């Protein structure tokens, strides 16, 4: 079948001449009843609607009777959440590459007030995804970097202060104010790097059956109730390759619905670079995406020679330098090699990455795998 297509839904003779609910391709008249789940067909007939299918892999959607392909059919949402799901993909930023299903899944859960945890390698756009979801849903966003705070109690609850005029008084945190604001999306960035005390404080906040913040450990201490419609999105790096990441409490993880944000495919990464830097040469964009991809493949191998990889964030930084006139060798020297250890001389991580980059340097010269600075570092 050719797509998009509209199915006219009506009663028509089936086998044996019995009248049954049938679906016909509006353009060709072909009977396509067998390609549609009965419940979908029955609901459309009940609602006096026809059915519309954008692509082979998309879902059937109800449209008004008499709709035509010439005038893009207006999809009739069943309810508010269906309306959201039918439009949220159009609100995703052009520079955020993600499967439609994953995007709709996250949007739906945040809209429903579920706690979402976006997991994946560093630099894949987890924080940007959370920010984009809040914007797509028309919600205010409160951002807190849990991985950077050295004072969890002060950051999440507040501090007691003293002044000559006011005496002793309590100053509640911005986080507490966000909890009191209906409909806010609260981004708990880098929750996997947070101090365990922060996790303990958040337990009751994130528990669907409690949803309150205790301001003190004392019995009978005052609490702050999480306002209606407040949603939480956390970002986390989970895995043994992240040495600075603490092992998260399973009870805390269980308070979230997990959505994985993987690295982009090479094709997607090249498309992203071209959107951000339209004048960047196609071959250059492909080369740096390939270099990054090879480090990601290497770190996943059982005999990996590196302990980190080139993230999408680092690839974008490389592209910016290249677009500003830096050569690939210069770009790698200042933005890529410092990410990798130089311990071990010719067997070091940095040497391995230099060998990867060397394959893509097209000026006809051989880059020194050891420059003077590297040699001095090794001999010291």
Average confidence (pLDDT) per 10 residues, the chain, 380 residues = 89 86 92 87 86 82 85 64 81 90 94 92 91 93 92 87 67 91 94 92 94 82 89 83 62 94 92 94 94 92 90 93 93 93 89 92 50 46
CA pair distance 329, 367, nearest whole angstrom: 8
Q: How far apart are CA 121 and CA 142, in angstroms?
A: 23
The rounded distance, in Å, linking the Cα atoms of 345 and 354 is 12
Return the residue matching tokens 């340097």: 361
> What pLDDT sits at residue 1?
76
Which positions ≥6 away from 102 have C-beta within 8 Å? 259, 260, 261
User: Which three-class secondary structure state does DSSP give residue 301?
Assistant: coil
Helix (H) or strand (E) holding 240: none
Query: The tokens of 44 are what?
Result: 């459309």
What pLDDT is stored for residue 239 in this prediction?
55
The residues near 83 (Cβ < 8 Å, ≥ 6 apart) are 77
DSSP letter, residue 21: E
Residue 373: its pLDDT value, please?
A: 47
DSSP code of residue 31: B
Nearest to 159 by CA among 215, 204, 217, 227: 215
pTM attached to this predicted model:
0.70
pLDDT value, residue 83:
74
């Amino acid at each position: 079948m050719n797509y998009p297509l509209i199915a006219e839904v009506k009663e028509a003779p089936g086998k044996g001449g019995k009248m049954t609910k049938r679906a016909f391709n509006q353009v060709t008249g072909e009977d396509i009843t067998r390609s549609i789940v009965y419940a979908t067909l029955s609901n459309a007939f009940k609602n006096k609607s026809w059915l519309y299918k954008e692509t082979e892999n998309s879902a059937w959607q109800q449209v008004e009777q008499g709709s035509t392909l010439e005038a893009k059919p207006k999809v009739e949402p069943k309810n508010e959440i269906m309306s959201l799901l039918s439009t949220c993909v159009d609100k995703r930023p052009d520079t955020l590459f993600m499967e439609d299903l994953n995007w709709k899944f996250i949007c739906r859960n945040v809209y429903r007030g579920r706690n979402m945890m976006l997991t994946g390698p560093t630099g894949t756009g987890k924080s940007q995804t959370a920010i984009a979801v809040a914007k797509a849903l028309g919600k205010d966003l409160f951002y807190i970097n849990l991985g950077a705070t050295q004072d969890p109690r002060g950051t999440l609850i507040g501090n007691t202060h003293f002044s000559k005029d006011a005496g002793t008084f309590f100053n509640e945190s911005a986080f507490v104010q966000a909890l009191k604001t209906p409909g806010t999306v609260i981004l708990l960035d880098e929750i996997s790097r947070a101090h365990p005390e922060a996790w303990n404080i958040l337990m009751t906040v994130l528990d669907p059956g409690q949803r309150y913040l205790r301001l003190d450990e004392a019995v009978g201490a005052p609490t702050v109730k999480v306002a209606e419609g407040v949603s939480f999105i956390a970002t986390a790096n989970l895995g043994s390759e992240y040495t600075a990441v603490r092992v998260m409490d399973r009870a805390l993880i269980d308070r979230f619905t997990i959505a994985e944000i993987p690295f982009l495919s090479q094709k997607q990464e090249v498309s992203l670079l071209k959107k951000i830097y339209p004048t960047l040469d196609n071959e250059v964009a492909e080369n740096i995406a390939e270099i990054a991809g090879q480090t990601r493949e290497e770190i996943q191998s059982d005999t990996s020679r590196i302990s980190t990889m080139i993230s999408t964030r680092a690839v974008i930084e490389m592209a910016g330098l290249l677009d500003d006139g830096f050569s690939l060798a210069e770009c790698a020297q200042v933005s890529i090699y410092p990410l990798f250890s130089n311990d071990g001389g010719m067997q070091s991580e940095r040497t391995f990455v230099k060998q990867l980059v060397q394959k893509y340097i097209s000026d006809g010269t051989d880059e020194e795998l050891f420059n003077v600075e590297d040699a001095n570092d090794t001999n010291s």
